[in-house]
Amino acid sequence: MKTENIKPFDGQHCETTATGTLLLKLGIELSEPMLFGLGEGLGFIFWNMKSMNFPFIGGRVKLDVLTENIARNLVNSKGLAKCKRTY
Protein backbone atom coordinates (compact mmCIF):
# COMPACT_ATOMS: atom_id res chain seq x y z
CA MET A 1 0.00 0.00 0.00
CA LYS A 2 1.33 3.42 -0.94
CA THR A 3 0.65 6.28 1.43
CA GLU A 4 1.03 9.86 0.27
CA ASN A 5 1.12 13.24 1.97
CA ILE A 6 2.33 11.99 5.35
CA LYS A 7 3.03 14.77 7.82
CA PRO A 8 5.55 13.35 10.32
CA PHE A 9 4.79 13.74 14.00
CA ASP A 10 7.60 15.49 15.86
CA GLY A 11 8.15 13.38 18.95
CA GLN A 12 10.94 12.23 21.24
CA HIS A 13 9.87 8.61 21.76
CA CYS A 14 9.72 6.09 18.91
CA GLU A 15 6.31 4.63 19.73
CA THR A 16 4.49 7.93 20.33
CA THR A 17 6.14 9.37 17.20
CA ALA A 18 4.94 6.47 15.02
CA THR A 19 1.46 6.46 16.57
CA GLY A 20 1.25 10.26 16.38
CA THR A 21 2.11 10.14 12.66
CA LEU A 22 -0.64 7.59 11.99
CA LEU A 23 -3.17 9.59 14.00
CA LEU A 24 -2.26 12.78 12.11
CA LYS A 25 -3.09 10.92 8.89
CA LEU A 26 -6.57 10.30 10.38
CA GLY A 27 -6.93 13.98 11.27
CA ILE A 28 -6.30 13.50 15.01
CA GLU A 29 -3.66 15.90 16.36
CA LEU A 30 -2.52 15.22 19.91
CA SER A 31 0.61 16.26 21.79
CA GLU A 32 3.20 13.69 22.79
CA PRO A 33 2.37 14.10 26.52
CA MET A 34 -1.31 13.50 25.66
CA LEU A 35 -0.41 10.36 23.69
CA PHE A 36 1.72 9.15 26.59
CA GLY A 37 -1.15 9.78 29.01
CA LEU A 38 -3.78 8.13 26.81
CA GLY A 39 -1.41 5.22 26.39
CA GLU A 40 -1.09 4.85 30.16
CA GLY A 41 2.65 4.95 29.61
CA LEU A 42 3.85 5.96 33.03
CA GLY A 43 4.38 3.30 35.64
CA PHE A 44 6.80 2.81 38.50
CA ILE A 45 9.04 0.01 39.71
CA PHE A 46 11.63 -0.06 42.48
CA TRP A 47 13.59 -3.30 42.32
CA ASN A 48 16.32 -3.94 44.87
CA MET A 49 18.25 -7.17 44.31
CA LYS A 50 21.15 -8.49 46.36
CA SER A 51 23.09 -9.17 43.14
CA MET A 52 22.94 -5.49 42.13
CA ASN A 53 25.00 -2.72 43.71
CA PHE A 54 22.09 -0.29 43.46
CA PRO A 55 18.32 -0.59 43.00
CA PHE A 56 16.67 -0.39 39.61
CA ILE A 57 14.14 2.41 39.30
CA GLY A 58 12.03 2.47 36.14
CA GLY A 59 8.64 3.32 34.87
CA ARG A 60 7.32 2.52 31.42
CA VAL A 61 4.84 0.11 29.88
CA LYS A 62 5.96 -2.74 27.63
CA LEU A 63 6.56 -2.14 23.92
CA ASP A 64 3.42 -1.89 21.77
CA VAL A 65 1.18 -1.71 24.86
CA LEU A 66 1.32 2.09 24.68
CA THR A 67 -0.19 2.07 21.16
CA GLU A 68 -2.81 -0.53 22.14
CA ASN A 69 -3.84 1.63 25.12
CA ILE A 70 -4.01 4.79 23.00
CA ALA A 71 -6.29 3.05 20.48
CA ARG A 72 -8.50 1.56 23.19
CA ASN A 73 -8.83 4.85 25.08
CA LEU A 74 -9.59 6.86 21.93
CA VAL A 75 -12.32 4.40 20.95
CA ASN A 76 -13.71 4.36 24.50
CA SER A 77 -13.87 8.16 24.55
CA LYS A 78 -15.48 8.13 21.08
CA GLY A 79 -12.55 10.23 19.90
CA LEU A 80 -12.24 8.25 16.68
CA ALA A 81 -15.90 8.65 15.86
CA LYS A 82 -15.46 12.45 15.88
CA CYS A 83 -12.26 12.58 13.85
CA LYS A 84 -12.01 13.99 10.35
CA ARG A 85 -11.13 11.07 8.11
CA THR A 86 -8.72 12.03 5.34
CA TYR A 87 -7.96 8.70 3.71
pLDDT, tens only, 6-56: 889 999 999 999 999 999 998 999 999 999 999 999 888 888 989 989 998
Q: CA angle 37-31-71, nearest 5°?
A: 55
67 pLDDT above the threshold of 90: yes
> pTM, whole model, 2 decimals?
0.71
Confidence of residue 86 (pLDDT cuts 50, 70, 90): very low
- pLDDT value at residue 87: 38
Name the nearest CA neighbour of 41 among 68, 79, 22.
Answer: 68
Tell me how far apart the alpha carbons of residues 67 and 46 are, in angstroms, rounded to a whole number. 24
